[in-house]
Structure 1
C-alpha cells in the first residue's frame, strides 16, 4: 500500500510558549472540520478532500502534543492539577475524533469498497461542502470576507482556508482571500455552483443522485447515517456540557453513546446479511470502516465530558475556548411573548431566518428533548442549547428576548 500525501513521518515537536486556550480553540475547530470533510470525501468520492483530511489530522497531532506540554507546565499546585485534569480529556477526545476522521478519509484514498447506496443516503445527511482553489482572476481574490459579504448574499460560508501548508480555521471579516488559497465552502445546494464558479473560474459538477437497491443494505446504510448524526450531536453536546458545567447534558452524551453502540451492532448484522445479496461483497468493506470510525467519534464525546460527570471543576480555559471557536454553542431561554415563543422546530432547525441549529431543549417539568430530529413548538421558559455562527447566535438571542 502506497503512502498518501497526508501521510508523513512524525516530526519532532518542541515546546513553544502558547496559550492553552488558543490551542484548545484550534483543536475544537479542527476536530469539527475534520468530521465535515471526512464524510464529504466519502459522499463525493473526492481524493482531494480526503487528502485535506490527512493534512488536518497531521496538524491535530502537533496541536495535541503542544497542548499536553503546555498543561504540564501550567499545573503549579494540586488544586490547579485537579482543574486541569479534565482538560486532558478534552484534548484526548479531539485527537480521537481526528484519528477517526482520518480512517474515514482512507476509505476513499485506499479505495476500500463502498456501496453506491451509502453515497445516496449520505447526500441527505451531509450539508453540501465543497473544496475550491481561488483563481487569480476571481472577483473574490484580494478582497476580505467582509467586503465580499458571501454569507449574506448567498448563504454560503467559507469555513476554512488552506494557504500552502498553513490553515485558517476561523476566517473572519478581515480575512483576505488570495490566489491559490484552498477554500472550503459550505452552504445551500442551490447557491454552491455559482459561488464555486466565481471563486475558482471552473464549473461545479454535482454528483448524480444514487438510489439504494438492496433491502438489508438499506437498513445498514440507514443505521450508519443515524450513527453519524448521533455522534456529531454527542460531540456538540459534550462541548456544551463543559461550557455550561451541565451534568444533564453530559449524561445525554453517555446516553447517545450507548445508542450508537447498539446501532453499530445492528448495522454489522445487516451488513453481513447484505453481503449475501451483493454482487461484490468486498464492496461492503468500506461500510464496516465507516461504522467503526463513527462509533469512535461518539466514544470521544464521552471522554470530553469526563470532568463534568466526575464533578470536577473544569478550568476556565476550556469555557473560554468553546466560546471563542468557529461555531459557538450557546444557551438561550425563550422569554414570554418573544419571537421564538410558538415557533416550530423541524429536524432541529427553527422556522426562522436565523441559521442556528437547536441541539437540545429543556422544558420545565418535562426534561430534555435531544436529537437531530427534534420536532416541537417552542414555549416560553424553554431553555435551548444551540449551535451557529456568532452572528446567528446574536440574532437568535435577540429573537428569544
Structure 2
C-alpha cells in the first residue's frame, strides 16, 4: 500500500540531485538483477522505484508552489520535464526487475551478453585476505584510480545500495562492480584474489537470436549515453549536445525495430517461443530510457533556458559532469584517449568530444560532436571534452587538459 505524501517545504535542487542519482542507480541495479538472476537485487529496484515516486511527487508540489506567473511557468517547464524523465527511467527499471521477479522467460545467452556492454557489470566476492578489505571506498580511492564503481554491496544477506565514501568493504561481502573491462578485471582480482573469467556465451543460440540480443545490449549502451549527454546539454545549455540526444533516441528506435524483426524470426527457431518474453520486455524498457533522455534535453531543444536549479542539481549529484578544453601544452593534445588511458588514470569517462575545428568533424556530424568516443579517438588542442565521474577525477582531468 503506497504511503501518504503531503507537501513539505524542501529544496528542489536537492530533490533533483537525489532523483538523478537514484535513476542512474536504478538502471545499474535493474540490469544487475537480470545478470545475477537475483530476486534480492530486483526487490531493491522496486524499493527504489517506490522511493522515486515519493521524490517526484514532492518535486512537483514544490514546483507548483513556485510558479506564480507565466514567466515562472516557462522557466520551470524544463525542470518538470526532468522530474518526469527521472520517473520514466524509474518505471523502466522496475519493468526490467520484474523480468527476474516474475520469472519471465529470458534466453540464458542474454545474461552472458550483458557484461559485453560498454561498461562491464561484475559480481565479486571479497576475500578476507584482500588488501582492500577493511578499507573504506573513500580511503581506497577506487573509482578515481581505476574507473570502477562499486554500485552495491551485499553483507549478511542484505543489500547496501549506492555505497558512499564512508562504506567499508569487508571480507565475505559481495560487491557489484561497474566500469571499463580493463579496470573491472584488475579490481575483481584485488577483491577476490582470483582471476576474472568472463561468462561464456552459450552455443545453442540461433543467428537471429544473437542479433536480437546484441541489439538489446547496444540499446542499453546508447540509452545510457543519451541520458548522460542530456544532463550535459542542460548543464551547459548546449544545443549541439541536445541534438545528439535526439539522434541517439532515433537510433534506439531503429534498433528496437530491428530487434523486433529478429526476435520474430528467432521465435520460429526456438523450442519455446514464450521463453523470449523477457527479452521483449527488456528491449521495451530500455527504449523508454532513451525516451526519458530526450525529455531531459527537450527544453534546450525548444529554446528554453536551463533553470539554475537544474545546473546546481547536476553539479551536486554523486557523479558529476564536467567540460574541458584541451590546451596547447596538454598531455592529451595529439594523442588518443587510449594512449593516455584517461578512464583508468582519472576515473572520468569521456562521453563526448567537440572538435575545435569544424572541418575536422566526422562525416555526417554537422555539429562537430563525437559521441561515445573510444580509445582510438585522437584529440587535438582546442577540442572540448564532456566527461563524467568523481570530483577527485574531475580535478585530475584539469591537469590532463590544461
Whether 2:4 is the aligned partner of 1:12: answer yes
Report 1:380-399 matches (<5 A).
Answer: 380-399=381-400
Q: Deviations over 1:350-377 (max 9, x none)?
A: 4762222111111121211113657421
Q: Tell me the equivalent position of 1:3.
A: none
Q: Tell me the equivalent position of 1:200.
A: none
- The two structures, once aligned, show a CA RMSD in angstroms of 3.3
Q: Tell me the equivalent position of 1:211.
A: 202
Report 1:76-95 matches (<5 A).
Answer: 76-95=68-87
Pick the aligned partner of 1:330 from 317, 322, 325.
Answer: 322
CA contact (8 A) 1:159 1:184 kept: yes
> How far is 1:153 from its partner?
7.7
Q: Tell me the equivalent position of 1:189.
A: 185
Q: Which moved more, 1:85-94 or 1:146-155?
A: 146-155
Q: How high is the TM-score relative to the length of structure 1? A: 0.85
In structure 2, relative to structure 1, the CA distance for the partners of 1:282 and 1:90 (3 Å cut) is same
Q: Tell me the equivalent position of 1:107.
A: 99
CA contact (8 A) 2:229 2:241 kept: yes
Pick the aligned partner of 2:29 from 15, 33, 37.
Answer: 37
CA contact (8 A) 1:83 1:313 kept: yes
Any stretches of 5+ residues in structure 2 without a counterpart?
362-367
CA distance in structure 1 between the aligned counterparts of 2:299 and 2:340, rounded to whole angstroms: 27
In structure 2, relative to structure 1, the CA distance for the partners of 1:292 and 1:345 (3 Å cut) is same
Q: Which moved more, 1:373-382 or 1:107-116?
A: 373-382
CA distance in structure 1 between the aligned counterparts of 2:158 and 2:14, rounded to whole angstroms: 19
CA contact (8 A) 1:229 1:372 kept: no
Whether 2:299 is the aligned partner of 1:307: answer yes
Aligned length: 384
SS of residue in 2 equivalent to 1:191: helix
Q: Which moved more, 1:146-155 or 1:334-343?
A: 146-155
Q: Tell me the equivalent position of 2:310.
A: 318
CA distance in structure 1 between the aligned counterparts of 2:351 and 2:212, rounded to whole angstroms: 25
CA contact (8 A) 2:319 2:391 kept: yes
SS of residue in 2 equivalent to 1:189: helix
CA contact (8 A) 2:226 2:293 kept: yes
CA distance in structure 2 between the aligned counterparts of 1:348 and 1:121, rounded to whole angstroms: 28
Q: Which moved more, 1:124-133 or 1:350-359?
A: 124-133
Any stretches of 5+ residues in structure 1 without a counterpart?
1-8, 198-202
Q: How high is the TM-score relative to the length of structure 2? A: 0.85
CA contact (8 A) 2:144 2:345 kept: no
Pick the aligned partner of 1:223 from 215, 230, 233.
Answer: 215
> How far is 1:390 from its partner?
1.2
Q: Deviations over 1:238-296 (max 9, x none)?
A: 00000000011111111111111111011000001011111221111111101110110
CA distance in structure 2 between the aligned counterparts of 1:132 and 1:24, rounded to whole angstroms: 33
In structure 2, relative to structure 1, the CA distance for the partners of 1:296 and 1:351 (3 Å cut) is closer
Report 1:2-401 matches (<5 A).
Answer: 9-125=1-117, 126-130=119-123, 144-147=136-139, 149-151=141-143, 156-159=148-151, 169=162, 171-172=164-165, 174=166, 185-186=177-178, 188-192=184-188, 195=191, 208-212=199-203, 213-345=205-337, 350=342, 353-363=345-355, 364-365=357-358, 366=361, 367-371=368-372, 373=374, 375-401=376-402
SS of residue in 2 equivalent to 1:361: strand
CA distance in structure 2 between the aligned counterparts of 1:179 and 1:209, rounded to whole angstroms: 27
In structure 2, relative to structure 1, the CA distance for the partners of 1:121 and 1:106 (3 Å cut) is same
> How far is 1:388 from its partner?
1.2
